[in-house]
Amino acid sequence: MISIRDVRKSFKAKLVVDGIDLDVGQGGIVSILGPSGSGKSTFLRCLNRLETPDAGSIDMGGDRYDLPRLDRRRLQSLRMRIGMVFQNYNLFRHRTAIENILEGLLVVKRLKRAEAQDIAEGYLALMGLSDQAAQYPSSLSGGQQQRVAIARTLAMQPELILFDEPTSALDPEHTGEVLEAIRKAAGQGIPMIIVTHEMGFAREISSHVLFIDGGKVIEQGDPKTLFGAPEQQRTRDFLKNYLRSYSFDI
């Protein structure tokens, strides 16, 4: 079980994440919905300490990280255990697809080259990219780049994967292949937290859904209830708005 407690973050006087709690069970997939600017990215970034929160902890199998106060060793340990997939892929531009995956295995995990190569090839294959191993990011489509990024994250075998709007930067014709890649990643059994505007996908894949506004959890529950019969007016308004603009998708 992964238990996240009371994550808080302000930028100057502006409170952006206002005490978020969340539990993610083994193999659990939590989707986070919410309007733009509601603190979703900041929340995720606090969890793997790309931002330093003002308060908050994450307990991973009984090992508790006090997020604002991690020394170098604990920070490294946290980052080994939590992987992240970004909207803009964040691949190394000057490295090929397979080199992007090898980097963490060789430098962070210090595996032997042959073992790292096997692992990297395995995850490229899982993502359907074996024939793109030697390509640089600039010659791959956005969908392919995001699949390399997912392969890179899976290869590190983290205990939790954070996805921050993984399909938002893609052309619509590449969204489906990345959603399929996330389904495959989910099949690996690693718990995930996914910030997404793909409502149909969130409804199908999630074990639990949070609706966040103003840095707070407004409502949470199983996807059937949250999408089908939300209790809070703000959740209803958000979903209604969404349905109006994207009715083909849900």
Ligand X SMILES: Nc1ncnc2c1ncn2[C@@H]1O[C@H](COP(=O)(O)OP(=O)(O)O)[C@@H](O)[C@H]1O
Report the C-alpha gap between 85 and 87 in whole angstroms: 7
Q: Which is nearer to ligand X, 11 or 246 (CB)?
A: 11
Chain center to CA of 86: 7
How far apart are alpha carbons 204 and 211 in whole angstroms?
16
Binding mask 28-47 toward ligand X (x if CB under 6 A, else -) reads: ------x-xxxxxxx-----
42 binds, among Mg ion, ligand X, none (CB under 5 to 8 A by kind): ligand X
Provide the mask over 4-23, with x wherever binding to ligand X is found by CB under 6 A and - wherever it is not. -------x----x-------
- Provide the minimum distance between the beta carbon of 38 and ligand X in the complex, in angstroms, as a whole number: 4
Tell me which of ligand X, Mg ion, none is bound by residue 11, counting a contact when its beta carbon lies within the kind-specific cut-off of 5 to 8 angstroms.
Answer: ligand X
Give the Cα separation of 27 and 240 in Å (integer).
Answer: 30
SS3 156: coil
| Ramachandran quadrant class, 231 (left: phi over 0; alpha: psi -120 to 50; beta: rest) | alpha
- Which among Mg ion, ligand X, none contacts residue 187 (Cβ within 5 to 8 A by kind)? none
Listed in sequence order, the DSSP H helices in 7-96 are 40-47, 72-81
92 binds, among ligand X, Mg ion, none (CB under 5 to 8 A by kind): none
What one-letter code names the amino acid at 69? Answer: R
Is residue 218 involved in binding ligand X (CB under 6 A)? no
Least distance in angstroms from the C-beta of 61 to ligand X: 27
Interface residue list for ligand X (CB under 6 A): 11, 16, 34, 36-42
